[in-house]
Amino acid sequence: MDKILITGAGGFIGSHLAKRLYEEDYEVKAVDIKWDGYLPEPYYTEKLTLDLRSRENCRIALKDVDQVFHLAANMGGIGFITEVGAEIMHDNVIMNANMLQESVESKIGRFFFSSSACIYPTYRQVDTENPGLKEEDAYPADPDDFYGWEKLYTEKMCEAYQRDHNLEVRVARFHNIYGPHGTYDGGREKSPAALCRKIAQASNPGNIEIWGDGQQTRSYCYIDDGVEGILRLMKSDFQEPLNIGSDRLVTIEELADMIIKISGKTIEKQHLLSAPQGVRGRNADLTLLKKTLKWEPQISLEEGLTRTYRWIEEKF
């Protein structure tokens, strides 16, 4: 079986992906600059702590590897990516460029890049009733933050390496992948984990703070479905960016209500209107996903939130 490199294997999606492949008896080389420790170890065959901003470290990571899942990134939730721009663009562009160039020189068989729904233009996300962003909607480009611009630039860099060096590339645009065993505090957590944490920490009865007016909309994809989508895309012949997410649109207010119901608590919601809340409405169109992969996410939002809340609840 192929030897697999997973960068960002200490993070949320990377660790879940590594665990899945490790349990399927693949030889998994896990690389990260830090290890969050959410999943019980080992979930890999080999573990290396490396800073991939160094090209030499990328060369070390890629030694004797057949396929690459490149998920390493300097990133976080809406608060972090709104506040931080230069650091995100600098670190990620250097890592991505190093990994692509060294993958060519190491004669890697296939390269997966984790992009984001943040690449989609702001002018297509002004309505809370967003009908769903199609892959073709990425252009004319106008991402809503520096993180989105960095991801979109790397998509084009992947395209260039595919054309000029025949590097087999697969690109997924993730739409809010969530679940247990991920960041839930510290400022880099995403909205489902942040709300689960707030509700788990609240007294009963109690109250929580919601960023914005709560009417902004998003769609959420559970981590197990996210990993399944990654693997199906990697094994496919599809060479263009592909949405991986859910097309079930909910408001942040509705998301909070679902988690409150799961908790069994009586919680009042207060809104911080001055807080960052991102685009007004973002949803995934899964038409191309279903056609290409003959599959779609299977785990309901209610089930995924229940698993996530129960895991976070145990931390307090």
CATH number of the domain that residue 199 is part of: 3.90.25.10
Q: Which residues, 6+ apart, have CB-to-CB distance to 19 below 8 Å? A: 39, 43
Q: What is the pLDDT of residue 187?
A: 82
- Give me the domain span that covers residue 190: 179-219+248-281+299-313
* Residue 124 shares a structural domain with residue 206: no
User: Beta 217-218 vs 250-251: how paired, if at all?
Assistant: antiparallel
The pLDDT value given to residue 167 = 98
pLDDT digits (tens, 9 = 90+) for 12-37: 999 999 999 999 999 999 999 999 88
Q: Are strands 27-32 and 3-7 parallel, antiparallel or unpaired?
A: parallel
On whether both 159 and 207 belong to a single domain, the answer is no
HSE at residue 17, side-chain half, CA atoms within 13 A, is 30
| Same-domain pairing of 141 and 121 | yes
pLDDT, residue 1, reads 72
Give catalytic residue positions: 147
The amino acid occupying position 228 is E
Asked if the structure places residue 294 within a domain, the reply is no
Let me know if residue 293 belongs to a domain.
no
What letter does residue 251 receive in the DSSP assignment?
Answer: E
Residues of the chain scoring pLDDT < 50? none
In a domain, 292, yes or no: no
What separation in angstroms does the CA of 305 have from each of 94, 191, 193? Answer: 35, 11, 9
pTM, to two decimals? 0.95
Q: What is the structure's pLDDT at 275?
A: 87
**Which pLDDT score, from 0 to 100, does residue 76 have?**
80
Position 236 in a domain: yes
- 289, part of any domain: no
Cβ burial of 51 (10 Å; 0-12, 13-18, 19+) is middle
Whether 35 is in a domain gets the answer yes
Query: Is there a single domain that holds both residue 24 and residue 151?
Result: yes
What pLDDT sits at residue 188? 82
pLDDT of residue 38: 87
Indicate which CATH number applies to the domain containing 34.
3.40.50.720
Short-list 242, 250, 192, CA closest to 222:
192
Which pLDDT belongs to residue 186? 87
